Amino acid sequence: MIILEDVQNAARLVESLLGNDYAQAEQALLQYAECLGQLHAQTIGKAAEFEEMFKAIAPNVKPIRDTVNIHKHQLMLESLGICTENRWLHDLEAINETINHPGEYLAYIHADACPDNVLDTGAGLRLIDFETGHFGHALIDAAYGRMMFPSCWCANRLPHAVVQQMEDTHRAVLIQRCPVAADDRRFEIALVKACGFWLLYTLTRHLESALRKDLNWGTSTIRQRILARLEAFITTSQEFNQLPGLRNTSSQLLDLLRHRWSDVPDLPLYPAFQDLPV
């Protein structure tokens, strides 16, 4: 089933990020976070209804499921001389458990909320291109900005203060239908696991090829993204004191890759924020 709508005279969020107006870009990102929060809040409790409709439309197609291939990650790390430990295995299993069983966080997620999949109609933002959309953990979308838009060609850094505002905005909307999100500690644990998921997604998708050759993709290179997401996960894990096994292994991998890729510059801020501190 394909649904089309002509949204005329709409600018994309990516245009604000690649422009030079900090205030406009910040406001657009907060609207984007609110839009994602509304998507999640309005679909909490509707997974069974969605599944019933999905089966009626495509009875032989399985819905998308988020998962981490633990064995593949273990082989990748061992090929680089990094030995995994029990805490690392426990953390990856914990991420899989949380992502596959979101509990009260189960909502319809976009899962590819790239800045060019967001249109500003003048009357508000519209999310488009839901080909990867499915019911999953709401914080997979909420962590997207913190982890530098992991599935997107337009992947640069955001200032930490802006990321925090985005997450606070999303959370305020989500709490209306997901009371567990009001519990700081439980929210932080879930957020770190969502960041861990996006880090592992990046490594699964890009590390093997990046070890052979760096490639430009959109606004940055693949190696820049890998290094930046390792840093982002490590920082988040330290901030909330979660997933120490994955953090330790990620630190080892980051040190190794920095040594190998010593000529790779840091992932830059989006142009709209380049005169501001990270």
Q: Give the per-residue pLDDT at 278.
A: 54
Nearest to 259 by CA among 88, 84, 83, 80: 80
Residue 111 Ramachandran class (φ > 0 left, ψ -120 to 50 alpha, else beta): left
SS3 at position 1: coil
Write down the pLDDT at residue 63. 74
CA distance 247 to 237: 6
CA 37 to chain centroid:
14
pLDDT tens track, the chain, 278 positions = 666 777 666 789 999 999 999 999 999 999 999 999 999 999 999 999 999 998 898 888 887 778 899 999 999 999 999 999 999 999 999 999 999 999 999 999 999 999 999 998 877 888 999 989 999 999 999 999 999 999 999 999 999 999 999 999 999 999 999 999 999 999 999 999 999 999 999 999 999 999 999 999 999 999 999 999 999 999 999 999 999 999 999 999 999 999 999 999 999 999 999 986 55
Instruction: State the Cα–Cα distance between residues 212 and 265, nearest whole angstrom.
Output: 18
- Helix H or strand E encompassing 92: helix 86-100
pLDDT at position 158 is 97
Q: Sign of dihedral through CA atoms 224, 118, 33, 48?
A: negative
| Ranges of each domain in the chain | 11-265
Q: Which amino acid, residue 249?
A: T
pLDDT at 84 (0 to 100): 92
Global pTM reads 0.94
Residue 79's Cβ-count burial label (10 Å; 0-12, 13-18, 19+) is exposed
Rounded Cα–Cα distance for residues 219 and 151 (Å): 13
State the pLDDT at residue 179: 97
Tell me which H or E stretch contains 173. helix 160-174
- Residue with token string 């590390």: 207
Q: How far apart are the first and last CA of the chain?
A: 42
Strands 118-120 and 11-12 turn out to be: antiparallel
CATH superfamily of 11-265: Aminoglycoside phosphotransferase (APH), C-terminal lobe (3.90.1200.10)
